[in-house]
């Protein structure tokens, strides 16, 4: 059992979530449970930061020797300008969700020692891990795939799928095709097989039926609107498909239920939420996240929020 009263003392290091709003985030519950479980002397908080305060907030991470941070809306695309480096995948996706302090001296060193801040995007690995746990990689290589939505999460998914599976066709279904066109344009250098295609929802039926992997990267189905779904026509689902919903509250969405009823393999967004958090945690602490403790804390936080 994790210690219910974590030690907070002069050695305690901090990690924060930078975003606006942040009050409803489940990340503090999830990360603090993991830190406590492993006795890591660090605390994860959430700090609301408006766009005009972002530069100061990042300077504060350096000055106060934070272990790092998560970054969420509205800063994922803009924070890179304030960092010393970004990973290739964060650069490719065009978004940073994790900042890692590469601190040569640790908390007790002279505060003038340089702290380098590196940006990463753990949504890429966080998306892939549950998929690879369920489906052997060879089964999806070269397959037709489809993503509903063309926002920030969809960009990470497009990059993950193109670079891991080299799909034959990867269709982006968007209510604003110009948004999906921009994603396709940005990902062109990773699309060696010319797989990317854009469809409006009204014309996506054939691509939905032809795709082995269907990913919901819209908020459709998210609490408090669990009756929403990106694809109401359940007759288009079939047993050979994998339905992956990024929505994590509720854990099982209408989209996943409808696909599973037709025999498809469902993957819910809670697994990705934990996996992307684990990929950040590993970089801050040097340890593998105790995912059972994190998952239990997430379940409790979701139940409390319902």
| Active site (catalytic) residues | 76
From residue 273 to residue 302, what is the string marking binding to ligand NAP with x (rule CB under 6 A)?
Answer: x--x--------------------------
Q: How far is the CB of 12 from ligand NAP (least distance, A)?
A: 27
Tokens of 286: 């040097």
- Binding of residue 28 to ligand NAP (CB under 6 A): no
In the shown chain, the binding pattern of residues 149 to 168 toward ligand NAP, with x for contact by CB under 6 A and - for none, equals xxxxxx--------------
Nearest residue to 130 via CA among 275, 249, 5: 275
Alpha carbon 280 to chain centroid, angstroms: 10
Which residues, listed in sequence order, are joined to residue 169 by a DSSP beta bridge? Answer: 144
Report the C-alpha gap between 302 and 306 in whole angstroms. Answer: 6
**Closer residue to ligand NAP, CB minimum distance, 103 or 123:** 123
Whole-angstrom distance, CA of residue 98 vs CA of residue 281: 9
30 lies in the binding site for ligand NAP (CB under 6 A): no
269 binds ligand NAP (CB under 6 A): yes
Asked whether position 79 contacts ligand NAP by CB under 6 A, the answer is no
- C-alpha pair distances (Å), 208 with each of 66, 218, 260: 45, 15, 15
Q: Should residue 22 be labelled a site residue for ligand NAP when binding is judged by CB under 6 A? A: no
Smaller CB distance to ligand NAP: residue 127 or 237? Answer: 127
| Residue 23 half-sphere exposure toward CB, CA atoms < 13 A | 1
Binding residue count for ligand NAP, defined by CB under 6 A: 24
Considering the rule CB under 6 A, would residue 96 count as an interface residue with ligand NAP?
no
Residue 123 binding ligand NAP, by CB under 6 A? yes
Residues 173-212 that bind ligand NAP (CB under 6 A): 174-176, 179
Of the candidate residues 53, 219, 226, 251, the single one contacting ligand NAP (CB under 6 A): 219
Q: 10 Å Cβ neighbour count for 276?
A: 23
End-to-end Cα, the chain, rounded Å? 25
* Residue 146, SS3 per DSSP: strand
CA distances from 106 to 16, 18, 35, 66 (A): 17, 22, 18, 10
- Residue 93 or 115: the one with the smaller Cβ distance to ligand NAP is 93
> Does residue 225 touch ligand NAP according to CB under 6 A?
no
Chain contacts with ligand NAP (rule: CB under 6 A): 123, 126, 149-154, 174-176, 179, 217-220, 222, 246-248, 269, 272-273, 276
């Amino acid at each position: 059992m994790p210690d219910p009263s974590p030690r907070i003392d002069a050695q305690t290091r901090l990690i924060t979530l930078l975003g606006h709003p942040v009050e409803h985030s489940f990340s503090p519950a999830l990360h603090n449970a993991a830190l406590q479980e492993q006795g890591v002397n660090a605390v994860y908080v959430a700090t609301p930061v408006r766009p005009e305060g972002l530069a100061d907030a990042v300077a504060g991470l350096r000055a106060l020797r934070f272990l790092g941070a998560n970054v969420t809306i509205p800063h994922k695309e803009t924070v890179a300008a304030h960092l010393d480096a970004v990973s290739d995948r964060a650069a490719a996706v065009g978004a940073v969700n994790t900042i890692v302090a590469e601190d040569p001296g640790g908390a007790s060193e002279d505060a003038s020692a340089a702290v380098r801040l590196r940006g990463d995007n753990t949504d890429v690995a966080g998306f892939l891990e549950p998929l690879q746990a369920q489906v052997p990689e060879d089964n999806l290589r070269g397959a037709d795939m489809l993503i509903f939505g063309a926002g920030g999460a969809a960009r990470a998914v497009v990059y993950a799928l193109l670079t891991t599976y080299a799909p034959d066709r990867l269709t982006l279904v968007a209510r604003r095709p110009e948004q999906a066109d921009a994603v396709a344009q940005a990902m062109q250098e990773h699309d060696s097989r010319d797989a990317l295609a854009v469809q409006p929802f009204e014309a996506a039926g054939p691509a939905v039926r032809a795709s082995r992997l269907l990913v919901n990267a819209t908020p459709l189905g998210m609490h408090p609107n669990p009756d929403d779904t990106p694809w109401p026509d359940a007759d288009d689902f079939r047993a050979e498909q994998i339905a992956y919903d990024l929505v994590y509250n509720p854990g099982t969405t209408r989209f996943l239920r409808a696909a599973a009823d037709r025999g498809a393999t469902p993957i819910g967004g809670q697994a990705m939420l934990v996996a992307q958090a684990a990929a950040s945690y590993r970089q801050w602490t040097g340890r593998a996240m105790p995912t059972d403790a994190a998952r239990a804390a997430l379940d409790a936080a979701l139940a409390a929020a319902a």
